[in-house]
Structure 1
Amino acid sequence: MVNAYSLVSTEPGETSKVYKKIGELKGVKSVEAVAGPYDLIARIEVDSLEKLTRTLFANIRGISGVTNTTTLIVIEIK
């Protein structure tokens, strides 16, 4: 299982629309609106890096109103 957080910036006035669209995507477990340098944070859980890449580039970055993403892949520390 691959877990990641995607920090999403949106165009002014588009955050609500982008929030709803990200929340409907397969593999997105939650999406939160935040204050600060990013507008949204999405928690993603998929079963491969290939699916993570597709979720980020084809789905999230493909949403009209998304201007930038920064993705943090969760790693396991033992």
Structure 2
Amino acid sequence: MVRAYGLISVEPGKSSEIFKKVEDLDGVETVEAVAGPYDIVTQIEVDSLEKLTSTIFGKIRGIEGVTSTTTLIVVGLE
């Protein structure tokens, strides 16, 4: 299982629309609207790194109004 946080910046006035679209994507566990340098933070859990790449680059970045993303992949420290 691969878990990551997606930090999403969007065009002004598009947050609500994009929030709903991201919320419906497979693998997206949580979506939060936030204040600061990003507009939306999402937690994603998928089976592989390839699926994570597809979700971020193919699906999220493909939504009209998304201006940029930053991906934080969770690593286990023991």
TM-score calculated relative to the size of structure 2: 0.99
Which residues in structure 2 correspond to 1:1-78 (within 5 Å)? 1-78=1-78
Moved over 3 A (4+): none
> 3-state SS of the aligned residue for 1:18?
helix
Distance in 1 between the 2:65 and 2:31 partners?
A: 16
The percentage of counterpart residues that share the same residue type is: 63
Q: CA deviation at 1:59?
A: 0.3
Q: Which amino acid aligns with 1:38?
A: Y
Q: What CA RMSD, in Å, does the superposition of the two structures yield over aligned residues?
A: 0.3
Q: CA deviation at 1:69?
A: 0.2
> 3-state SS of the aligned residue for 2:18?
helix
Q: Which runs of 5+ in 2 are unaligned?
A: none
TM-score calculated relative to the size of structure 1: 0.99
Q: Count residues in correspondence.
A: 78
Q: Which runs of 5+ in 1 are unaligned?
A: none
